[in-house]
Amino acid sequence: MDFLVLFLFYLAFMLIGVVTICICSKTHCFKGLVRRGAQIISYIIPECLRRAMLRLLHYLFHTRNHTFVILHLILQGMVYTEYTWEIFGLCQELEFSLNYLLLPYLLLIVNLFFFALSCETNPGTITKANELLFLQVYEFDEGMFPKNVRCSTCDLRKPARSKHCSVCNRCVHRFDHHCVWVNNCIGAWNIRYFLFYLLTLTASAATMAVVSTVFLVQLVMVSDLYLETYINDFGHLQVVDTVFVVQYLFLTFPRIVFLLGFVVVLSFLLGSYLCFCLYLAATNQTTNEWYRGARAWCQHCPHVAWPPSAEPQVYRNIHSRGLWSNLREIFLPAVAHYERKKK
């Protein structure tokens, strides 16, 4: 059973790495490296296997499916099962505060609520019925979002800050990105739910990391392990040091130590992404706009071959109105005022 749990956690690490690489591969500088790596792999992996992998990747990342939603729930269930089975009972024996131990479960309930809202809420789909309404929300900058441009797929006029999602096959108002973990686009109408989902997910991972760390430290303090001595490989008596304590804890509580490592890495990754999303919200940018604006800088990268016609363009953020106005726009979407007027 222990080996199975460790293997599943290792698989989770690998999946996080794969998704991170897939997100990073959207940047043009990274695409050059990915292309070269793909060329090298093409000489190693048989063609039939490569085709199967490409079909699988296309299904996972370029079509709407619930694979990552199910995987998300499985991983979350595994982590909370380990926390309940390994840490909760032992912490009660050490007389930890019950409120302190129940905090991850409270965060789980809130997280699942916002997870469901992120999955099911309409992100701001543009249709014939609301096309004119969305065209009034944001002004065109005549650069990144010029006037009188039609979507060739939906045959609709494209409002400023909108984008056609090839995965969902629809144009989305204030398009941010398509998230495979919620199987939905993130747009004007569900970005606030996505931020709360990300915040509670980061908080739950960080809380578990703190509880696990405090438990292990408390265990060492109660057992007076740091006062013990041992005989090293050379037969000399030596005082217990930090390395010995870590080795002892890993051998005695391998699942708890591995869970701690997993939630620490997860907290760091989620926390970094949360900070990035909060930066975008504070400056009234979307991921799509940030990426397209960053391409101007990336065009100067000497390792990427750009066509001669690709001239660097300077992106000016004309939608930022100050911190509080930007945050109010996230949590009270501008189109809501237009909808109330229409009613």
**249 has pLDDT over 60:** yes
Residue 94, amino acid: L
Which two three-digit tokens encode residue 38?
């793909």
Q: Would you say residue 176 lies in a domain?
A: no
pLDDT band with cut points at 50, 70 and 90 for residue 241: confident
Provide the number of structural domains found in the chain.
1
Residue 139 lies in a domain: no
Residue 58: its pLDDT value, please? 83
- pLDDT for the residue 340: 44
Average pLDDT over residues 169-191: 95
Residue 268 lies in a domain: yes
Confidence band for 12, pLDDT divided at 50, 70 and 90: low
- Cite the DSSP H helix spans in 283-299: 287-298
pLDDT at 282: 95
The length of the chain, given as a count of residues: 343
117/245: higher pLDDT:
117
- pLDDT per residue as tens digits for the range 60-116: 888 999 999 999 999 999 999 999 998 998 898 888 899 999 999 999 999 999 999
The pLDDT of residue 268 is: 95
- Inside any domain, residue 218: yes
312 within a domain of the structure (yes/no): no
Find out whether 159 and 134 touch, Cβ atoms under 8 Å: yes
Question: Does residue 291 fall inside a structural domain?
Answer: yes
Q: Residue 79's domain spans which residues?
A: 75-123+188-298+319-331
Does 215 map to a domain?
yes
Task: Report, as residue numbers or ranges, the catalytic residues.
Answer: 179
Burial 246-279 (b: 16+ CB within 10 A, else e): eebbeeebebbbbbbebbbebbebbbeebeebee
Report if residue 98 sits inside a domain: yes
What pLDDT does residue 54 have? 83
Can you tell me which residue has the tokens 């747009």?
A: 187
Does an H or E element contain 230, and which?
A: strand 229-231
Q: What pLDDT score does 52 carry?
A: 86
Residues 330-336, mean pLDDT to the nearest whole number? 73
Dig out the tokens for 106 from the structure: 């409270």
User: Contact at 8 Å (CB) between 246 and 121?
Assistant: no
**Average pLDDT score over the chain:** 81
Distance CA 263, CA 230 (A): 31
pTM of the predicted structure, to 2 decimals:
0.81
In the predicted structure, residue 339 carries a pLDDT above the cut 80: no
pLDDT band at 209 (very low <50, low <70, confident <90, very high): very high
What amino acid is encoded at 96 in this protein? F
Token pair belonging to 57: 């990747």
pLDDT digit string, tens, across residues 312-332: 555 678 888 899 999 999 988
DSSP state of 284: T
Amino acid at 80: Y
